[in-house]
Amino acid sequence: MDVVLWPNHSPTDRVHVTLQPDDWGYFEGEADAEPGWRYLYAINGTEERPDPASRSQPDGVHGASAVIDRSFGWTDGDWKGVPLENYIIYELHVGTLTEAGTFDEAISRLPYLKNLGITAIEIMPVAQFPGARNWGYDGTYPYAAQNSYGGMDGFRRLVNAAHEHGLAVILDVVYNHLGPEGNYLPRFGPYFTEQYKTPWGWSLNYDGAWSDEVRAYFIGNALFWIEDCHVDALRLDAVHAIVDTSSNPFLRELTAAVGDRAHKVGRQIPVIAENDMNDAACVRPGRDGGLGMHSQWSDDFHHALHTVLTGELHGYYADFGLMDQLARAIQNGYVYDGEYSLFRQRRHGTDGSVLSGMQLVTCCQNHDQIGNRMLGDRLSAMVSGEQLKVAAAVLLMTPSIPLLFMGEEYGESAPFLYFTSHSDTGLIDAVRKGRREEFAAFFEQGEAPDPQSEDTFRRSRLTWTALSSEQEELANWYKSLLALRRKVALKEFSKKNTTAYASEGDRTLWILRRSEIDPSQVVVSAFNFSAMPQDITLPFLLSEWSILLASSKDNWNDRIIVPRENFRPYKVTIQLPSFGVLIASCACRSQE
């Protein structure tokens, strides 16, 4: 094994350095090089390939790697991070967040997000991928920040700026597979196994021969983003697709390594999993046989909320659609906790009642649930503005960590489509064919947009134009909800002090949250999912409510005083307008 280096301005002045093997399959050597120098590994002395641990791929996935300056002018020395319980997450895609689609341009949006009430940005994967446009899940260089976004220095500038604005940075990382184009990792060792398959191709070798070093490669990657790039948290993509039969699973080892590093740097560094298995073991401590992660995405909450809003019941939505399921997702964490799933045709999930609210990340929308629709249509294209208000209020009044997808807060009209920019013609054809086949049943909607088309990418950009009056109203609603959420009883994540109840007949929902600090303080959130006004009966004995927020200013004043003659023992009935939301507080005692 050799390494070939040359100054960027003088590609003919190549320097060859012979590397020496050690007992563990690594090759070592020393050479003088400056930042910006290009280099390639020469396998067997002839086959030249980029560095699979490259920090920079300025010429793309097939080009030479580049030496970078690992030092950076950080100004966040006093940064202590944001506690997980204070996370309000804003998921964003760098390439479509702004017109320029760069890390530096994303910095210009940070003051807006801070003012909105966001505390953490979650950045979709930035590991080097083919071409200039991609969701990021086709990355093939886990250690290199995408060149078209601004490379490693651009990424570090974004993280540094986020910290200056008091925002934590969550990075979405992909450890279940690598993309097919530019994936030269198999030429360097047994990083993949044919024993298992993933939906995206080869499975990574986490439990076979030489898997210790495969694990080290990916654990080292997680620590690299934390140490060299000051990332505050990691979101692990589709951990259910990682097959590992070892006694000490890779995911547990990774989470423990991140925990050790967090202790070293003196701040929290949460690990958040995407896991569609409703598996509480994901966030159970490692000492108790779990994987030790800190939180996980809750698909059940999204599906339950989406179906009662839209009435869609195809695909995996066939398992949902009932108001009671939404209440159950809020109360218990999972809807399916061992029950039979019609979509999966088997029992699904584990007991979610053991989870705290902080161990669940909930959303109305995310990149998957929008982008994996044929037309990439957002919730704003499916329901009314008043229904969007209901969705936002349910999300932000639920005792879990909320996630907003970019543009959701003002009802962005642009879709978020699936897009790529591969150079491999065979792969391009395969992706196109796959999308056509996936949505063949939706022929009445036309043909799925071409993922390879630049127009598909451009259509997915946020517009950031002057907002309509309805969009401004929604944006102000989100801002008010986020401000309200910071109040004591709504920051707490105890589900034992939360009661959620739904009525299927009149399509109403209420959530009661009692403060752990002062149990007499109660916040009640009432929601009407119906187009008709509905009465809602709450199990409290009180005569005066302090109105915290209401979706219809015409229907409510600052307080509701309930006449004594309207009382029934321990119950109060109020009327909610169509698609109405009422959030009120009181000092009271429950029926119990």
Enzyme catalytic residues: 237, 274
Sign of CA dihedral 156, 161, 164, 166: negative
Contact 317/303 with Cβ under 8 angstroms?
A: yes
**Alpha carbon distance 545, 528 (integer Å):** 18
Closest C-alpha to 39, from 50, 55, 47, 31: 50
Closest C-alpha to 232, from 84, 107, 118: 84
Q: Cα Rg for the chain, rounded, in angstroms?
A: 25
Q: How many CA atoms lie within 13 A of 194 on its CB side?
A: 1
Query: Which phi-psi region, left, alpha or beta, contains residue 407 (left: φ > 0; alpha: ψ -120 to 50)?
Result: left
Helices 299-310 and 385-397, packing angle to 10 deg: 150
- Secondary structure in 3-state letters for 172-234: EECCCCCCCCCCCHHHCCCCEEEEEEECCEEEECCCCCCHHHHHHHHHHHHHHHHHCCCCCEE
H-run or E-run covering 386: helix 385-397
Residues 6+ apart with CB under 8 A from 122: 89, 90, 91, 92, 170, 171, 172, 235, 403
First-to-last alpha carbon distance for the chain, in angstroms, is 74
Tokens of 158: 């974004």
Tokens of 268: 């929290």
Tokens of 240: 């259910």
Tokens of 301: 């909450």
Side chain identity, residue 483: A
What are the distances in angstroms from CA 346 to CA 240, 276, 340, 341, 524? 17, 14, 5, 6, 36
Closest C-alpha to 431, from 443, 442, 418, 440: 418
Burial (0-12, 13-18, 19+ Cβ within 10 Å), 475: middle
DSSP 148: G
**Alpha carbon distance 229, 444 (integer Å):** 47
Q: Could you identify the residue written with the tokens 């409703």?
A: 278
- Secondary structure in 3-state letters for 429-481: HHHHHHHHHHCHHHHHHCCCCCCCCHHHHHHCCCCCCCCCHHHHHHHHHHHHH
**Alpha carbon distance 26, 5 (integer Å):** 19
Sign of CA dihedral 426, 429, 432, 435: negative
Longest dimension (CA), the chain: 93
DSSP 532: S
